[in-house]
Structures are given as structure tokens and as C-alpha cells.
Copies of this chain bind each other. A is one copy, B any other.
């Protein structure tokens, strides 16, 4: 029995509407929830009385009567958000409207045993709750992103190439040791897409988020919802072929974009440029640091290194080839580029853009925006928080 269990279905729907459009007026909420004004008024009144919604002053006038705006009450409880990447772990505690209360980031190797990573997650959350003078029972929902395909209903990873030890491991059971609140697991790129959708107050119904880092993946928003596909594998764009004569990928095929343009390809090309003498600057970094990363290529490029520029253009062009196919097929309004390689700089984005425009049909790119993901490196964490709130409210409705 939680505080949600005695809410009506329309009160839960209204809470979700407020969550997606914080600061909206009653009128806007009625429209979003597809409720009549009287049904909206009743649901809002019940929620305000229970202390779950609060009024936050007046909205800017549009000429008529001024509308009060509504947001989720901050004392509803806490949301825990976890974003596990291939090489990093982010853990945060948030208010129900996703304001960050505590955030901790550390390096992590996803190839570690799941027990090791989950112990860290649990320990960090305990510390964060303590710092916020809160208890585990005040956590109302947990969202976690992982860098592999997830069967959404069970929350289990399925055939995760980067983290084979997690197959069949229940993250939910692990979190249940500490928390009564429900936990929801999703692919990390789906959560970046959900995070951007939340930031946009769901105003864009059809867009893509590409994560380019250790791997390459795509989050899909279609008809205003994250689209996960039949097996939870939608957006697995890293193995789309961008060169039918290209090198062999670990998946067994040739010319996969992930093999040719993700972080390890950057590093490999940088090493070649350093060792061949083509780039004295990269050779110098290599001598200083012992190895080269995509960030080194970005730094060399900003210093005017021609070879570094060529690497960035080559990788951007290949990612753009893959995206051109997706743009022709999906005709999104926006493509947002995120992940570690989004730190490389403007030349990378320009190369991706050029390649998409070169290879896509005019009609599909007429209104297309191609940008770095506005939430940047926080997109996955915000998405994990959004998943926790959204699914917690929806699962309360479904339980009936």
C-alpha cells in the first residue's frame, strides 16, 4: 500500500500530465489528459488536498483570466536515477519533478560482475539518502539505464554484447533488497530519448537520439512515446552497414558503423596518424599519455591538426551515412547527437550534418534539425528519472 494506491485513475492520469508539463495551467492539462474541464477540476482539487500537487502562482497573462500553474509537490518523495554506461556510472537522487538533489559520477567497467556494480549503486544511493536526510521508504520509484538491449516488461537484459555477465541477472531483485518502490530498467539510449522528450514537454512527437561512444545506438520517439520494438531491440543502429567492402566487426558482419566510427575507431585512427608521422601533435600526445582517446583527437583538431580533422570528418561522415538511411526511412523532425563523442566539437557535428544532407532525400530533410542533444551528458540520468515517475504512475493504474 503506497500513497498512490487510493488515487483514482483520473487522478493518476492528471499527475502524469503535470509531470510531463510542469508549470502548465489547468486548461493545458485538461487538453493533454483529454479530460473535460470539470473532470480536470475535480482531479486537481483531490490531488491538491492530498498534498500531491501544489499551485505555483500565476502564469503570464494571455489576455483573459490569469491561470494558476501546477506542479508536483516536492514532499511526494524521492526518485532514484541510475545511468550505467560502458565505462561510467551515474547515480542521482531527484525530486518527483526531476530536480537534482544529489549526483555522483564515477568510472565503471560494465564488463564487471553485476553484483559488483550493483553494490556500488546501492552504496551510493544510501549515502545520497543520508545526505538528504531521507530514508529508503521515501523513495517512490527507481529508474535505471544500461548499455544493452532490455526486455522492458521483465527488466532483464537480453543478449547484451557489452555485458554478457548480466544476461538473466535481475537488477530489480537486487534493488528490492533496499527499496519497496518499483524499479524500471531500460536501454541507456532509450532513456536519453525519454529524457529529451520530457525536457520538450512532449512537444515533438517524432525524433531520434543517437549515442556515439564505446558503441553506437539510437533512441526512437514515435507518436510521442519511446519506441522499443518487438524484442526491445529497436534502435540497435550500430550494426547498420556503412561500407559493404569495410572491415569485419565483432558481430561477424563487415562495415558496421560501430566498428568503423565509434570510440575505438577514433583511437585506432589516431594511433595510426601518430605512428605514421602524419600528425606530429598526436605523436606528442601519445608520447605524453601512453595512449590516445577521441578527446585527444578533438584537442588536436582544435589546435589545427590536419590529420585529426580528417579523422573527425571521416567518422562523422560514416555516422551521417547511417543516419541518412534512418532519416529517409523515419522522416524525424529532429536528430539529437549525444554520447561521449559529442564532446569532440563543432567539426564533428558539421561532418555528420553534411553527410546526412548529402545522402537523404530533399523532402525528408526539408524541416530536419540536426543538433547535439540539449540535455548533453545528463540526458540518460534525466531519462532514468522520467522512466521511474512515468512507469510508477502507469503501473499503479495497471495493477487495478
CB distance from A221 to the nearest CB of B (A): 11
- Residues of B contacting A159 in the complex (Cβ-Cβ under 8 angstroms): 362-363
8 A Cβ contacts from A229-274 to B: 229-237, 239-245, 251, 253
| B363 and A328 within 8 A (CB) | no
| B244 and A329 within 8 A (CB) | no
Q: How far is the CA of A223 from the CA of B224 in the complex (A)?
A: 10
8 A Cβ contacts from A182-241 to B: 206, 218, 220, 222-223, 225, 227-237, 239-241
| B222 and A367 within 8 A (CB) | no
- Residues of B contacting A360 in the complex (Cβ-Cβ under 8 angstroms): 239
Known: A362-B159, A364-B236. A332 touches B241 (CB 8 A): no
Range for the number of chain A residues in contact with chain B: 35 or more
Point out the residue from B240, B242, B331 that lies within 8 Å of A328, measured CB to CB.
Answer: B240
Q: How far is the CA of A310 from the CA of B182 in the complex (A)?
A: 56
| A363 and B329 within 8 A (CB) | no
Q: How far is the CA of A229 from the CA of B334 in the complex (A)?
A: 11
| A239 and B328 within 8 A (CB) | yes
| Binary contact track A292-325/B, C-beta < 8 Å → 1, others 0 | 0000000000000000000000000000010011
| B328 and A364 within 8 A (CB) | no
Q: How far is the CA of A218 from the CA of B325 in the complex (A)?
A: 13
- Residues of B contacting A239 in the complex (Cβ-Cβ under 8 angstroms): 328, 360-361
| A229 and B332 within 8 A (CB) | yes
Interface centre among A222, A225, A333, A366 (most CB of B within 10 A): A222
A372 within 8 A of B: no
A359 within 8 A of B: yes
Q: How far is the CA of A82 from the CA of B159 in the complex (A)?
A: 46
- Residues of B contacting A231 in the complex (Cβ-Cβ under 8 angstroms): 331, 363-364, 366-367
| A230 and B367 within 8 A (CB) | yes
Q: How far is the CA of A158 from the CA of B241 in the complex (A)?
A: 30
Q: How far is the CA of A5 from the CA of B167 in the complex (A)?
A: 55
- Residues of B contacting A149 in the complex (Cβ-Cβ under 8 angstroms): 363
Q: How far is the CA of A158 from the CA of B361 in the complex (A)?
A: 12
A330 within 8 A of B: yes
Q: Could you give 13 example pairs across A and B, Cβ below 8 Å?
A: A149-B363, A206-B229, A220-B330, A222-B222, A223-B225, A228-B331, A231-B367, A233-B331, A234-B330, A235-B331, A240-B325, A253-B358, A325-B325
Taking A229-B332, A233-B363 as known contacts, 6 extra A-B pairs with beta carbons closer than 8 A to each other, sorted by chain A number, are A231-B366, A232-B331, A239-B361, A241-B324, A244-B244, A253-B358
